Amino acid sequence: MTSNFSSTVAGLPRIGAKRELKFALEGFWNGTTDGRALAQTARQLVNSASDALTDLDSVPFAGRSYYDAMLDTAAFLGVLPARFDSIPDHANDGLPLWIDRYFAAARGTAEQPAQAMTKWFDTNYHYLVPELAADTRFVLDASALIEDLHCQQVRGVNARPVLIGPLTFLSLSRTTDGSDPLDHLSELFEVYGRLLQSLDSEWVQIDEPALVTDLSAELLAQVRAGYQKLAAREGIFVNTYFGSGDQALETLAGIGLGAIGVDLVTHGITALEAWKGEELLVAGIVDGRNVWRTDLCAAFASLKRLAARGPIAVSTSCSLLHVPYSLDAEPNIDTEVRDWLAFGAEKIREVALLAQALAGNIDTAAFDAASTALASRRTSARTAASTQELPGRARGSFATRVALQEEALQLPALPTTTIGSFPQTPAIRSARARLRSGALTQAEYEEAMRGEIDLVIKKQEELGLDVLVHGEPERNDMVQYFAELLDGFLVTANGWVQSYGSRCVRPPVLFGNVSRPAPMTVSWFEYAQSLTKKHVKGMLTGPVTILAWSFVRDDQPLAATADEVALALRAEIADLIAAGAQIIQVDEPAIRELLPLREADKPAYLKWSVDSFRLATAGAPDEVQIHTHMCYSEFNEVISSVIALDADVTTIEAARSDMQVLSALKSSGFELGVGPGVWDIHSPRVPALSEVSGLLDAALQSVSPRQLWVNPDCGLKTRGWPEVEAALKVLVAAAEKARAELGAAI
Ligand code: GLN
Ligand code: ZN
């Protein structure tokens, strides 16, 4: 018999509190350290993750992960893409033999593109999308995981392996032959059956966040049957998160599983009667993906109600992957706001306090402190509801705008442009570091940044691009930059959260009312525009993206917070126009990512997200051209919102998905300007002229020449100058060739 546990967390971050994995990966990739060092760092991270949970009685354990859990799963299921099969096994130095194929799948090679990458549900974490086909066969090799598990057991840790479940793995996969990845479901359940037998831990956690999405009754029946078989092994804990646990309870209760986990933060459960107390209910009551302190009294009351119906354990609503490690690493946070916050370590403590309380041992001092902090947050002037009256959200008709803009801008057909950033060179990063350390004064730093702007304007003119950008050298990050300049946000010193692979972000905390004390981008724009006769785009990050990439206050509707950000941007746009900007880009790469997972919740989100963008941009006169940019996503589902944004020009990631977005635009009768990316900037390849020309030809099948812009997929800050120059040369040449071919047609 397995014994129930009482306290745990759904999962842990892997990158390291000091981003140890990031630095180890980078060292390994650029050859400055060997495989042994990387394997060692990864092992230490697993150990220190377990050690942080000594107050809890069950420890989630994902093994050493070198990039992404979906990719790890693809690797041990033997389904890394076949195009990397020719890469030989890695010499035995403590890394798995397949590691070189694994990194190739994650990052691409000079010859082969990487696997696609996209957002993990509605979070800002990116996973690598498995590539399957109808004839894919799974070849299980979990030896690395088993070995790591033994290491934890030897250390005396009650480790609970965490796997991504068959339903979720397949739901998030793509196929290369148009077949349905879920056709593999029963086969994969069998493979998992074997995998579970080989893991000799008391508990195994299988994550099935896909169970909170809309699924057909037929599929749910298959999932139930699959888990019924897996339940032959004792101690199976199926965890769900990012939405209501109702469907999971209705599907999985009463089939002999050991535990079912539900997210009580994103959504309460209403289908509690489905749970008869036969399984342990793992109650995700501490928010795993936001940074607000838990109301311990309220949480305890909910837990007691659940505990009256059956055995429960206290947990986080999802993996702590999505929040920073600890407030201890933040010496400089505003003391009033600090008290409102809980990062990873503080959340672990909250779980422990709640579990102790359930066991009859209430730490009254800790409960009182939580109540006091909550009261201070509720009554602070910085969170008081705004009573501001909002201006309009509509511009003139598109036809009117086009006529005025053509007149004002005088651009060639098929104008070429870039998305905003140019390479963030070591010189730029070092200037920023020296500013932080005091080695550079603000004036010296600004001088250095102006030097970078000189350089990118000159390069763009040499390349013959039509609409220029200032290159964003002054922005460490497209959201953090604005968060640092707006009131109502705080930024952390060390609050790193993994975004993908070795990449981390430090999401700002949007804790209170947002306002703009002073212009944020105007002087950089003015300087760049003073250097050229061509148009320079004003460059801003949109309200939805600012919210999506921040930890946002949960004490008022997101729509109200988005409008506050939009008003600040609207004022910035007015100032940019006053300074001479005729084209302003408001980036919304994240608009797809906040899309709710369930159909029923989507319309309300799409309304407020579009509304906030329009509130930000509608103050611009009709002759000013508003651009937006989107990426990292499949847009087909939000295409009507892309249209409703009413941006004059939308640049959009498309090269990796073979311009699929265009057919959706075509069938929706899209008539606004569009720049489908013709260079996949996430791959280190410089595209050939024929490739870019082919993509432009494909684009012209779907949109008229008058609509089409020519640009890369995304910003260029992560690339190096040589490839950027080479690729942009190709891009400009392809635009010229297309113009010549279109001739009189444009
Ligand atoms: N303007 C931003 C840049 O070029 C857009 C980045 C993004 O889409 N993520 O870097
Ligand atoms: Zn982008």
**Residue 2: per-residue pLDDT:** 83
For residues 64 and 12, the model is more confident at 12
Tokens read off for 673: 């300007």
Contact predicate 633/593, CB 8 Å? yes
* 342-372: pLDDT as tens digits: 999 999 999 999 999 999 999 999 999 999 9
Strand boundaries in 251-297, DSSP class E: 259-263, 280-286
pLDDT at 654: 85
Is residue 587 marked as binding?
Answer: yes
How many other CB atoms are there within 10 angstroms of residue 430's CB atom?
13
Kindly report each contact of residues 111-119 with a partner whose C-beta sits within 8 Å and lies 24 or more positions away, as own/partner. Answer: 112/83, 112/84, 113/656, 113/680, 113/683, 113/685, 114/682, 114/683, 115/71, 115/81, 116/174, 116/656, 116/657, 117/500, 117/632, 117/682, 118/632, 118/633, 118/634, 119/592, 119/593, 119/632, 119/633
Q: What is the distance of C-alpha 300 from the center of its chain?
A: 31
Nearest residue (by CA) to ligand 1, atom 4, is 715
For residues 266 and 243, give the distance between their C-alpha atoms in angstroms, rounded to a whole number: 5
Residue 632's pLDDT is: 64
Report the C-alpha gap between 369 and 366 in whole angstroms: 5
pLDDT at 150 over 90: yes
Q: Which of 475, 629, 713 to mutate to test the pocket of ligand 1 (most atoms within 8 A of CB)?
A: 629
The confidence score (pLDDT) of residue 385 equals 83
Q: How many CA atoms lie within 13 A of 175 on its CB side?
A: 15
The pLDDT score that the predictor gives to residue 267 is 85
pLDDT at 269: 80
Q: Write the CA distances from 95 to 144, 257, 371, 531, integer angstroms.
A: 9, 34, 47, 51
Q: What is the pTM of this model?
A: 0.94
> Which atom in ligand 1 lies closest to the alpha carbon of residue 539?
1
Nearest CA to ligand 1 atom 3: 715
pLDDT of 633 above 70: no
* pLDDT for residue 461: 98
Q: Where residue 665 falls among pLDDT bands split at 50, 70, 90? A: confident
Rounded-to-integer distance, Cα 127 and Cα 599, Å: 22
Backbone torsion region of residue 384, taken as left when φ is above 0, otherwise alpha when ψ lies between -120 and 50, otherwise beta: beta
Q: How far apart are CA 172 and CA 169, in angstroms?
A: 5
Query: pLDDT value at position 344?
Result: 98
Q: Which residues are within 8 A (CB) of 322 and not within 5 positions of it... i.e. 6 or more apart?
A: 123, 124, 125, 288, 289, 497
User: What does the chain come to in residues?
Assistant: 746
Confirm if 678 and 696 have CB atoms less than 8 A apart: yes
Which of 456, 472, 500 has most ligand 1 atoms within 8 Å of CB, for mutation? Answer: 472
Q: Is 436 annotated to bind ligand?
A: no
More confident residue, 386 or 316: 316
Residue with CA closest to ligand 1 atom 5: 715
Highest mean pLDDT among 108-112, 150-154, 607-611, 657-661: 607-611
CA of 453 to the centre of ligand 1 (A): 17
The catalytically annotated residue of 267, 322, 627, 682 is 682
Neighbours of 298 (CB within 10 A): 13
Whose atoms come closest to the Cα of 124: which ligand? 1
Which two tokens mark 571?
């004022």
Tokens of residue 420, six digits: 């905003």
**pLDDT top residue among 741 and 272:** 741
Q: Which of 511, 488, 586, 596 is nearest to 542 (CA)?
A: 586
For the record, the structure tokens of 16 come out as: 């390291």
CATH pick for 409-741 out of 3.40.640.10, 2.30.30.100, 2.30.42.10, 3.20.20.210? 3.20.20.210
Contact 672, 648 (CB under 8 A): yes
pLDDT at 320: 98
Q: According to the annotation, is 318 in a ligand binding site?
A: no
DSSP labels, 670-727 = --SEEEE--S-TTSSPPPPHHHHHHHHHHHHHHS-TTTB-B--SS--TTS-HHHHHHH
Neighbour tally for 1: CB within 10 Å: 7
Q: What is the pLDDT of residue 592?
A: 84
The number of the ligand 1 atom at minimal distance from the alpha carbon of 419 is 4
Nearest atom in ligand 1 to the alpha carbon of residue 541 is 1
Q: Are strands 467-468 and 535-541 parallel, antiparallel or unpaired?
A: parallel
Half-sphere exposure of 273 (CA within 13 A, CB side): 0
Task: Answer whether residue 410 shows pLDDT above 70.
Answer: yes
Q: What is the mean pLDDT of residues 442-467?
A: 98
Q: Residue 331 carries which side chain, given as an amino acid letter?
A: P
Q: Consult the annotation and say whether 472 binds a ligand.
A: yes
* 406 labeled part of a ligand binding site: no
Residue 100 confidence (pLDDT)? 96
> How far is it, in rounded angstroms, from Cα 313 to Cα 356?
11
Instruction: Taking each helix axis as running N to C, give the angle between helix 558-578 and helix 602-617, from 0 to 180 degrees, rounded to the nearest 10.
Output: 20
How far is Cα 101 from Cα 231, in angstroms, rounded to an integer? 33
Ligand 1 centre from 539 Cα, in Å? 9
Question: What local confidence, expressed as pLDDT, does residue 1 receive?
Answer: 64
Q: How far apart are CA 723 and CA 684, in angstroms?
A: 8
- Show me where the domains of the chain are located: 54-63+116-381, 409-741
Question: Distance (Å, rounded) from C-alpha 203 to C-alpha 196?
Answer: 10
Please give the helix or strand (H or E) that residue 131 lies within, else none: strand 131-132
Ligand nearest to the CA of 475: 1
Q: Which helix (H) or strand (E) holds 344?
A: helix 344-358
Q: How far is the CA of 629 from the centre of ligand 2 (A)?
A: 6
Is 507 within 8 Å of 498 (Cβ atoms)? no
Q: Tell me whether domains 54-63+116-381 and 409-741 share a fold.
A: yes
Region 297-326: what's the mean pLDDT? Answer: 97
User: Over the chain, what is the mean pLDDT?
Assistant: 95
Annotation marks residue 682 as catalytic: yes
Query: In this predicted model, what pLDDT tens digit does every residue of 477-489 receive, in sequence order?
Result: 999 999 999 999 9
Q: Using alpha carbons, list the distances in angstroms from residue 441 to 444, 445, 447.
A: 5, 6, 10
Tell me the mean pLDDT in the region 508-531: 98
Pocket, ligand 1, Cβ cutoff 6 A: 419-421, 472, 478, 539, 587, 589, 629, 631, 714-715, 717
- Phi, psi torsion values for 442, nearest 5 degrees: -55, -40
Q: In this structure, which residue's CA is closest to atom 9 in ligand 1?
A: 589
Query: Which pLDDT band holds residue 386 (cuts at 50, 70, 90)?
Result: confident
The arithmetic mean of pLDDT across residues 557-579, rounded, is 97
- Chain segment 387-406, per-residue pLDDT in tens: 888 999 999 999 999 999 99
DSSP for 649-665, please give it. EEEE--TTTTTHHHHHH
SS3 (DSSP) at 158: coil
Q: Strand 509-515 relative to strand 312-316: parallel, antiparallel, unpaired?
A: unpaired
pLDDT of residue 685: 85
Among all chains, which residue has been given the structure tokens 């697993």? Answer: 46
**Average pLDDT value for residue range 435-461:** 97
**In this structure, which amino acid lies at residue 256?**
G
Q: What distance in Å separates the CA atoms of residue 383 and residue 556, rounded to the nearest whole number?
A: 9
Q: Which ligand 1 atom is at minimum distance from the Cα of 714?
A: 8
Amino acid at 665: L
CATH number of the 54-63+116-381 domain = 3.20.20.210
If we measure between CA atoms, which residue out of 634, 478, 710, 597 comes closest to residue 116? 634
